[in-house]
Amino acid sequence: MTKIRTLTALILAPIAIAAILLLPTPWLAALAAVVFLAGLWEWFKLAEIDDTLSRTVLLLVNLLLMVALVWASRSSSGGSLVLFQLATVVGVIWWLLAALWLKHYSFASDHDTHARMFKLAASTLAVVPAWCALGLIHASDPTPSVWGTIPKGHLWLLTALMIVWAADSGAYFVGRRFGKHKLSPRISPNKTVEGLLGGLAAGIAVGVAGGALAGASPAQLPWVALVALLAVAASVVGDLYESLLKRHVGAKDSSNLLPGHGGILDRLDGVLAALPVFALGKAWLGF
């Protein structure tokens, strides 16, 4: 399983990195919307929306919300990202509430209409703000970096994603080797405190290195480390929340689309939570 997991990552990672670094923000946002909406489709399954027509309508509603945000942000002077910023703040608030949800395992765990409504609302509050945060980070600094014509904002987005990827890998390998104390046995029995610490260390290290490459000054690197820490913590909440949804319906993965990784949502869960936190921290602390 580890070999398959690694092989899948080696195939997908270069494609994702090339898209982040080389595509202009509108094209990357369009590509990301496709990926995020695919993850949303799997979320609907975990919310027990089994009817294909219903899932399609719900998907179109979320797509139209994304389109509406883009359309409302346009102006004769080139546009404004205020709505994207507001959506990002909403995303951060949502994940704080999701952390509280994790403490109440049984909330919306039944299979009636009200439980589905909560989980459907959660899907939009998770996916759309994360997509907005992705666009914000990518467009945050169009000035060329030391790596030639690649804008600094593109490197910042890559850094944000690599923080999550590094934290996920660090937690996986450290947890397998040293894990003894369960982090949340009822929600995700395989996650350990030792894995969490390994993920935090890996995420912060990658965040500082990526921040330096993206153009952060030495004085800014401690703030980058702080935001990386918060982003990793948020990614853990996102991971655990998706695990909670799967526990409620007895699913192991959101799908079997990605060999060794499960579904698209299984790869996006931490990213959905980390991106708004990283975008807000970056804007607030000014790096």
Mean pLDDT across the stretch 157-182?
93
Mean pLDDT across the stretch 216-237?
97
Total number of domains constituting the chain? 1
Residue 266 CA from chain centroid, whole number: 10
* pLDDT for position 110: 81
Mean pLDDT across the stretch 161-172?
95
Lowest mean per-residue pLDDT among 4-13, 189-198, 243-252? 4-13
* pLDDT for position 33: 97
* pLDDT for position 261: 64
DSSP assignment of 159-172 equals HHHHHHHHHHHHHH
Q: Are 33 and 286 in contact (CB under 8 A)?
A: no
Pairwise CA distance, residues 26 & 71, whole Å: 12
pLDDT-based confidence at 115, cuts 50/70/90? confident
Q: Is residue 260 scored above 70 in pLDDT?
A: no
Residue ranges making up the domain that contains 138: 2-285
pLDDT-based confidence at 259, cuts 50/70/90? low
E strands present in the chain: 182-184, 188-192
Pairwise CA distance, residues 122 & 259, whole Å: 27
- What are the distances in angstroms from CA 240 to CA 105, 131, 155, 188, 190? 11, 20, 28, 7, 11
Q: Are 265 and 123 in contact (CB under 8 A)?
A: no
Tokens linked to 169 = 């890998």
Residue 74 phi/psi, 5-degree rounding, is -80, 150
Q: Are 266 and 253 in contact (CB under 8 A)?
A: yes
Q: Is residue 58 scored above 60 in pLDDT?
A: yes
* pLDDT for position 105: 82
